[in-house]
Chain A
Amino acid sequence: MPKHTGRGIAAIEYPTGMNQNGDPSQAWIKVKPDGRVDVFAGTSDIGNGSKTIQSQIVAETIGVPYDWVTYDNSNTDSSPVCTGTFASRATFVAGKAVEKAAERVKERILDIAGKELEIDPSDLEIVDGEVLAKGAPQKKIAVPDVAAAATWTYGELITGTGAQLKPYASIVDPETGEVDLPPHSAISYAACAAEVEVDDETGVVQVTRLVQVYDVGRAINPTLVEGQIEGGAVQGLGLGVLENCYPYYPSAEHRGGQFGSYLAPGFEDLPKIDTIIIENPSSDGPYGAKGIGEMANNAQPPAIAAAVFDAVGVWVTELPITPERILRALEAKAEPVRDGKRVVFDSELSVNAVSQGGIAFEVPA
């Protein structure tokens, strides 16, 4: 079989949270009389795990077991504003809001525990559902007892709210794109290597391996991080070699309306995936986390394009890199146009070749 293997790499970055900010998330937490914790936030769980991650942040911040936390994002009557689950903001921005609300709850628990124990709240800490005197852990009161005291003795509701809003970054100079504030709260980074096998007679390309590196800031839940990265890898593979709403773009002919005619990746398209996580903490995210869900399908397509070049010596720069595009490129044997110090690829795709004088891409000589 005329099969060729190749390797390619890519390195990318991505802004965590909404570009230019200005996107609020809010949360409120109340504590039941037995110390169990109810979290209300408006963050949809689209499979990304908002319910899990935000519950973990609350459990950690207050100092109670994870299974004491009930998380309710079910409706706009009880949950406060959250701009939504997009732009890798559900952990990074909304998670910060619940962290802030949990801090307030913790303060209230310590205040009441301080009264019960007759110790200054600043000398107390909460560990595994118990309020302990720092350095003298035999002096303690269980959080359920604190909650009961709040309810029945002091007539108080232990509650806390939190909100996260970074001010909107305005473009102050539309000529240069200069902004008045950082348009991002944190930038995540990733790198990816792809290995491919290409049949030069049919153009069929199989991605055989993806090695990926992600700086996630801090993995609040490493398993969920893996889930995002692996899911993103396969979507990136789809972008790279399979998926296209308009197979004859720009024509709208032959749009696939079924799973048989729109090629979403399936089990048998799956390459071997190796992933390396780095934790360089962010300054703004909860516990140093960065969002990595969005960027998780960005690095594979360029790595695959470079791997295909390595395998068969042609650059396919229209996605997806289909068997047909590989065969056409192999037939065209296109070399870049060399003119002085200029090396020009893909000139047939340029606006300069297609537009009838409407727009041009001019490069300084």
Chain B
Amino acid sequence: MKLTVNGIAHDVVSAPLATLLDVLREDLGITSPKAGCEQGGCGACTVLVDGEPQRACLTPAASLEGLEVTTVEGLGAPESLSPLQQAFTHHYAAQCGFCTSGMMLAAEGYLKRGGTDDREAIQEALAGHVCRCTGYVKIIDAVAAAARGDSFDLTVTAPSAGMTNLGGV
């Protein structure tokens, strides 16, 4: 079958019911979607299918003929980061980074469908994604900043709202 990933059409020969995750990682060598659970429970494998986020581990690759798959490699490269990638960097939204690709694609889908900087709406949109490191605060900060269209200085990172430094006492 033909599978279009980040604008490039690939001929894919794999097991008939192979998941999109397996095809991307094992056949095409695109390793940004992670096998976090292979049960649809964590969101680490989420990619965009025609602009909407979808769990690659739950998706038979065969069902995607004619559709456009976008992984995080398709958002932007180091020298041409997308606004959301800049937001994640500036707001320190990635610690170990393992959930980050799926998280960003879910957020990208949210922004594409007109998502705002409303924190509850962001929480609802990303609810299926587990991050064990950040406590989610800075991820929400990043998505909200991208939704607002903030510009980002990548030489520094932003403090969390609700943070006070009393110095030595």
Q: Do A and B come from one complex?
A: yes
- Residues of chain A having any CB pair with chain B under 8 Å: 45-49, 219, 222-224, 226-227, 230-235, 258-260, 264, 266-268, 270, 272-281
B81 contacts which chain A residues (CB < 8 A)?
Answer: none
Chain B neighbourhood of A231, CB < 8 A: 95, 132-135
Give the number of chain B interface residues (Cβ < 8 Å): 37
B41 touches A260 (CB 8 A): yes
Closest A residue to B162 by beta carbon equals A274
B124 near A: Cβ within 8 Å? yes
Return chain A residues, CB-CB under 8 Å to B62: none
Contact between B135 and A234, CB atoms less than 8 A apart: yes
Distance A268 CA – B95 CA, assembled complex (angstroms): 20
Q: Does B165 belong to the interface (CB within 8 Å)?
A: yes
Q: Assess whether A47 is in contact with B159, with CB atoms less than 8 Å apart.
A: no
The residue from B96, B135, B159 contacting A232, defined by CB atoms under 8 A apart? B135
Beta-carbon contact of A227 and B138 below 8 Å? yes
* Cβ of A319 to closest chain B Cβ, rounded Å: 18
A128 to B157, CA, bound (A): 20
Asked whether A281 and B163 contact (CB < 8 A) given A223-B158, A273-B135, the answer is no
**Chain B CB within 10 Å — which of A46, A266, A273, A277 has the most?**
A266
Q: Is the CB of A230 within 8 A of B134?
A: yes
Q: In the complex, which residues 32-55 of chain B have their Cβ closer than 8 Å to any Cβ of chain A? A: 37, 39, 41-42
B residues within 8 A CB of A223? Answer: 92, 157-159
- Chain A positions within 8 Å of B158 at CB level: 223
- The minimal Cβ–Cβ distance linking A266 to chain B, given in whole angstroms, is 6
- Residues of A within 8 Å of B133, CB to CB, are 47, 227, 231
Chain A residues with CB under 8 A of B41: 258-260
Q: Can you list 11 contacts pairing A with B, beta carbon distance less than 8 Å?
A: A47-B95, A47-B133, A223-B159, A226-B138, A226-B160, A227-B135, A227-B138, A230-B136, A267-B140, A268-B123, A273-B162
The A-contacting residues of B in range 132-169, CB under 8 angstroms, are 132-138, 140, 157-160, 162-169
B166 touches A278 (CB 8 A): yes
Let me know if B126 is at the binding interface, CB within 8 A: yes
Complex interface: chain A residues within 8 A of B168 (CB): 278-281
Across the interface, which residues of B come within 8 angstroms of A272, CB to CB? 162
CA distance A324 to B162 in the complex (A): 33
A279 interface neighbour in B97, B135, B167, Cβ under 8 Å: B167
Contact B166 A276 (CB under 8 A): yes
Smallest CB–CB gap between B145 and chain A, Å? 14
- Which residues of the partner chain A approach B130 to less than 8 Å between Cβ atoms? 259, 264, 266
- Contact check: which of A258, A275, A277 meets B39 at CB < 8 Å? A258
Contacts of A275 in B (CB 8 A): 160, 162-164
Residues of A contacting B96 in the complex (Cβ-Cβ under 8 angstroms): 45-47
Q: Which 7 A-B pairs rank lowest in CB-CB distance, beginning with the nearest? A: A47-B96, A259-B41, A47-B95, A230-B135, A234-B135, A223-B157, A267-B123
Give Cα A281–Cα B167 distance, bound, in whole angstroms.
10
Q: How distant is the Cα of A264 from the Cα of B167 in the complex, in angstroms?
A: 33
Q: Which residues of B contact A226 (CB under 8 A)?
A: 92, 137-138, 159-160, 163
Whether A266 and B127, one on each chain, are in contact in the complex, defined by CB atoms closer than 8 angstroms, is: yes
Q: Please, how many angstroms separate the alpha-carbon atoms of A272 and B127 in the complex?
A: 16
The reply to whether B127 and A267 contact each other, CB–CB distance below 8 Å, is yes
Nearest-neighbour CB distance to chain A for B57, whole angstroms, equals 12
Report if A234-B136 is in contact (Cβ < 8 Å); known contacts: A47-B97, A264-B130, A279-B167: yes
Please pick, from A49, A222, A258, A270, the residue contacting B95 in the complex, using a CB distance under 8 A.
A49
Contact A267 B129 (CB under 8 A): yes
What is the minimal beta-carbon distance from B119 to any residue of chain A, in angstroms?
Answer: 9
